[in-house]
């Protein structure tokens, strides 16, 4: 018997033991229970049905479907019980209205915090339960929704769930806590209504989205498109694990969109974590939590900054001409071509100063679709091009001075000084051959500030680049720290390492060097 449907959870993992009841428009009822692969084995007359689905630990729901001969199996999706949420939009300007879309199976309290050197309490938002039993429980759409988003409700009627964003720019987090102590946090990027500082810092919201697997797809899991059967065993079912040469990016000729309209569990930060704490967790070490450490360092060092999302550079909200310095950090891998062109023009034609405090940056081009609600990753990587960005525009080395290579990936090490007399090293006391950057907060890989993905100079690096230091990662895979000037008076400082900014709060040498660069770049 061919399955009439499959049932899976929000991550597209097969659900066994789901009770389904199909009710026809004539009132006839048909019952089934899903199998180990999530299959629903049931013969139904053609027609329209109301379907009720239930499984312990997951939210029950009703949906309406049409059954017709020869159609592909229906795809039912259930959301597990728990606490999740996201802001919508995920980036705004000060004083703009923001929804909070929360999934909870019990009453929860919500508050807003600003994440700088300290977690600063901003406001109590309130208690929410929407009255009815489990009425704050959200559902996920059936079918494939990583592409289109979950579009969760933000309250009901007069109980709308919105706030006005603070007028102070920065990284904010909503804190949700249930009556029984379950906790979940989710970020909000607040840009200024107009520039307030000389430094703009860019949040890598495109990268956050590329790595977000909610719905069963990211750019690393089922990157091209969803299959017709849910996942039973990841090692056996996902192209990522079946191919020796990273099959996800070769799994199809094109790639379906990834919606921003989804929760981002990887960006959750536990309530007890502070900016000077170690960063635990594989994803936390290169996403929002790691970027927070840079913002904390800027505030500790009294550098005022304005904070923006990637999309706000793309759409023009961030006008680079209004800033002296742009800082991109940690893992700014996914950029649109318009973003790339704006940055290149600002640095090479307008005299902008760029600090690239990250690794594997500007490597993959993306296109915004669905009025900016989603993005498509352009994953083609021809052998004669240095990166996916190079395949559609130019090598990122032409702007950053360096580009990611696989050598040294998934390792971390200190840097070794190559040019001790350079002004970047002023006040450090370092000499040729000395090591620095031995202390980092990121725990994904231990070893130092050159890691866990690293960039190096290439033939597309602009002339006149000085290689200041090089990481001691194995296989000659160390990050190359570079600095150069452009004919327009622009300046670029690149560290070529994801782990570098996670050491600033605890490493005196990298603090001194980064302070030297910022002070010089800010000078008229």
Average of per-residue pLDDT across 325-343:
98
pLDDT of 1 reads 84
- What's the mean per-residue pLDDT of the chain? 96
- Is-contact 130 156, C-beta < 8 A? yes
Query: Is residue 253 scored above 90 in pLDDT?
Result: no
- Is-contact 376 255, C-beta < 8 A? yes
Q: What percent of the chain has pLDDT over 90?
A: 93
- The pLDDT-based confidence of 287 (bands split at 50, 70, 90) is very high
Query: Is residue 447 scored above 80 in pLDDT?
Result: yes
pLDDT of 131 reads 82
- The pLDDT-based confidence of 494 (bands split at 50, 70, 90) is very high
Query: Is residue 71 scored above 90 in pLDDT?
Result: yes
User: Of 105, 158, 112, 109, nearest to 132 (Cα)?
Assistant: 105
Alpha helices in 327-481 (DSSP H): 337-348, 388-392, 397-400
pLDDT of 239 reads 84
What is the b/e burial string over 188-207, where b = at least 16 CB atoms within 10 angstroms of the residue's CB?
A: bbbbbeebebbbbbbbbbbb
If you ran DSSP here, which 8-state letter would residue 500 be given? G
Query: Is residue 246 scored above 80 in pLDDT?
Result: no
Tens digit of each residue's pLDDT (9 = 90 or more) over 170-197: 999 999 999 999 999 999 999 999 999 9
- Is-contact 285 444, C-beta < 8 A? yes
- The pLDDT-based confidence of 219 (bands split at 50, 70, 90) is very high
pLDDT of 167 reads 97
The domains of the chain, with CATH numbers, are 5-77 (2.60.40.1120)
* Residue-wise DSSP of 131-144: SSTTTT-----SS-
- Of 246 and 270, which is predicted with more confidence? 270
Q: What distance in Å separates the CA atoms of residue 98 and residue 83, rounded to the nearest whole number?
A: 19
pLDDT of 208 reads 98
Angle value at C-alpha 515, between 514 and 516, nearest 5 degrees: 90
Query: Is residue 334 scored above 90 in pLDDT?
Result: yes
**E-strand spans in 169-220?**
170-178, 183-191, 199-203
Average of per-residue pLDDT across 358-386:
96
Q: CB under 8 Å to 424, separation ≥6 — which residues?
A: 468, 483, 493, 513, 516, 517
Tens digit of each residue's pLDDT (9 = 90 or more) over 338-360: 999 999 999 999 999 999 999 99
Query: Is residue 97 scored above 80 in pLDDT?
Result: yes
Q: What distance in Å separates the CA atoms of residue 490 and residue 471, rounded to the nearest whole number?
A: 26
User: Of 299, 206, 185, 219, nearest to 260 (Cα)?
Assistant: 206
Tens digit of each residue's pLDDT (9 = 90 or more) over 133-166: 999 999 999 999 999 999 999 988 888 999 999 9
What is the b/e burial string over 427-454, where b = at least 16 CB atoms within 10 angstroms of the residue's CB?
A: ebebeeebbbbebbbbebbebbbbbbbb
pLDDT of 244 reads 72
pLDDT of 315 reads 98
Q: CB under 8 Å to 406, separation ≥6 — which residues?
A: 477
> Any idea which residue has 């706000």 for tokens?
312
> The sheet that has 83-88: what strands, in order across it?
83-88, 97-104, 162-164
In the structure encoding, which two tokens stand for residue 188, read together? Answer: 């909000």
Q: What distance in Å separates the CA atoms of residue 515 and residue 300, rounded to the nearest whole number?
A: 11
Give the lowest-confidence range in 113-127, 208-222, 240-254, 438-452: 240-254
Average of per-residue pLDDT across 127-138:
91
Tens digit of each residue's pLDDT (9 = 90 or more) over 380-433: 988 899 999 999 999 999 999 999 999 999 999 999 999 999 999 999 999 999
Upstream peptide bond of 89 is cis (omega within 30 degrees of 0): yes
pLDDT of 190 reads 99
Neighbouring C-alpha atoms within 13 Å toward the C-beta of 310:
31
pTM of the model: 0.97
Residue 450: strand pairing partners: 413
Q: What distance in Å separates the CA atoms of residue 306 and residue 201, rounded to the nearest whole number?
A: 6
């Amino acid at each position: 018997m061919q399955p009439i449907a499959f049932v899976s959870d929000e991550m597209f993992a097969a659900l066994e033991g789901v009770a389904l009841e199909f009710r026809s428009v004539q009132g006839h009822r048909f019952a089934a229970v899903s199998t180990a692969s999530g299959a629903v084995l049931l013969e139904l007359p053609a027609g329209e049905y109301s379907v009720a689905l239930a499984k312990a630990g997951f939210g029950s729901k009703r949906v309406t479907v049409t059954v017709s001969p020869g159609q592909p199996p229906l795809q039912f999706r259930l959301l597990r019980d728990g606490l999740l949420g996201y802001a919508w939009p995920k980036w705004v300007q000060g004083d703009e209205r923001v929804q909070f879309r929360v999934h909870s199976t019990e009453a929860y309290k919500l508050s807003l915090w600003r994440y700088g050197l300290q977690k600063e309490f901003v406001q109590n938002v309130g208690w929410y339960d929407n009255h009815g039993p489990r009425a704050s429980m959200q559902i996920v759409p059936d079918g494939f929704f990583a592409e289109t988003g979950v579009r969760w409700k933000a309250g009901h009627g007069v109980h709308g769930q919105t706030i006005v964003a603070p007028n102070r720019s920065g990284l904010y987090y909503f804190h949700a806590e249930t009556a029984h102590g379950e906790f979940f946090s989710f970020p909000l990027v607040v840009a200024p209504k107009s520039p307030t500082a000389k430094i703009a810092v860019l949040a890598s919201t495109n990268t956050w989205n590329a790595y977000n697997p909610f719905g069963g797809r990211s750019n690393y899991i089922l990157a091209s498109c969803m299959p017709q059967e849910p996942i039973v065993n990841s090692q056996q079912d996902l192209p990522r694990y079946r191919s020796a040469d990273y099959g996800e990016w070769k799994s199809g000729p094109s790639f379906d969109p990834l919606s921003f309209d989804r929760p981002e569990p990887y960006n959750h930060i536990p309530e007890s974590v502070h900016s000077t704490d170690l960063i635990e967790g594989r994803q936390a070490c290169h996403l929002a939590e790691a970027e927070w450490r840079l913002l904390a360092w800027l505030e500790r060092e009294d550098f005022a900054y304005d904070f923006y999302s990637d999309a706000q550079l793309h759409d023009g909200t961030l006008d680079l001409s209004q800033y002296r310095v742009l800082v991109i950090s940690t893992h700014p891998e996914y950029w649109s071509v318009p973003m790339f062109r704006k940055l290149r023009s600002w640095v090479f034609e307008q005299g902008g100063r760029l600090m690239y405090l990250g690794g594997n940056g500007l490597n993959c081009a993306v296109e915004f679709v669905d009025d900016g609600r989603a993005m498509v990753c352009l994953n083609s990587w021809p052998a004669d091009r240095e990166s996916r960005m190079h395949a559609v525009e130019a090598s990122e080395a032409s702007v950053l001075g360096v580009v990611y290579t696989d050598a040294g990936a998934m390792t971390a090490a200190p840097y070794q000084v190559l040019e001790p007399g350079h002004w970047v090293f002023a006040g450090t006391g370092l000499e040729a051959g000395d090591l620095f950057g031995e202390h980092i907060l990121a725990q994904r890989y231990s070893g130092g500030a050159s890691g866990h993905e690293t960039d190096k100079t290439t033939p597309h690096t602009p002339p006149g680049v000085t290689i200041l230091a090089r990481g001691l990662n194995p296989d000659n895979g160390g990050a190359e720290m570079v600095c150069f000037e452009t004919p327009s008076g622009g300046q670029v400082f690149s560290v070529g390492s994801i782990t570098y900014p996670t050491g600033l709060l605890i490493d005196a040498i990298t603090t001194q060097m980064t302070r030297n660069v910022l002070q010089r770049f800010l000078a008229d």
